Homo-oligomer: A and B are copies of this chain.
């Protein structure tokens, strides 16, 4: 058999594909005000949210997602057919699904996120792992939270790992970004929320907060490795610890958020 002739990957990259690939980088996302959502579920949610500007798909992906591609076309979204190789370059995953949407950024202002009378808000402070942060958006969505705030030096909500870990939830509830954690605490209180900090040495046990959690609440969750800065935790209304019954030192960010947000959801919905 004759050896395969090497293919120049760039011959398959149109200028629009090249521009889209750049959106893997945070600076390019900010400059273009666009980000990428990949895979059938995320693209479908992005279409429902009305934020898709352009859709790239392989022939195989079109065959597997006829309804979705028809919806995009019906809404006037430009659909470009790309090669498997171009789709792989557009994707950040090991097994690309051949379907990538260029979307408007989804983050909103803090005012918009806290608008109305929010009952439950998750605030990530200095979240460093995009997968963890995306999983928190997913669990906040599941717990019926009104908004998520990426505060302090947290990762970009439009990071590909964060978007994928959220499994579509970035398109379901408002996500705001603010560098000023104290400002977030002030505005949360102004919106009628008590501010609870998660802390390993908190004075309240999560099991003893059922009464407290009937009140509208903003939960502060700290960085995966360092937790919340103690001076910030001290400024919350209460510090809550999740009991550790075994020998684990701590819980990971997303599991801690799940326990706190669901404790609030349950208390707020108790008959």
Contacts and interface: CB of A to CB of B under 8 A. Distances in A.
Contacts of A41: 249
A165 B135 CA distance: 15
Contacts of A142: 242, 244-246, 248, 250-251
A251 B141 CA distance: 9
Interface stretch (A10-18, A55-63, A104-112, A166-174): A166-174
Interface residues of A, number: 38
B135 A255 contact: yes
Interface stretch (A67-75, A87-95, A188-196, A259-267): A259-267
A248 B167 contact: yes
Given A258-B255, A258-B258, A259-B262, A247 B139 contact: no
B265 A169 contact: no
Contacts of A131: 131
B172 A246 contact: yes
Nearest to A146: B246
Interface string A119-159: 00000000000010001001111111100000000000000
20 contacts: A41-B249, A138-B248, A138-B252, A138-B255, A139-B248, A139-B255, A141-B246, A141-B248, A142-B242, A142-B250, A142-B251, A165-B252, A167-B248, A167-B252, A169-B248, A172-B246, A172-B247, A245-B269, A255-B257, A259-B262
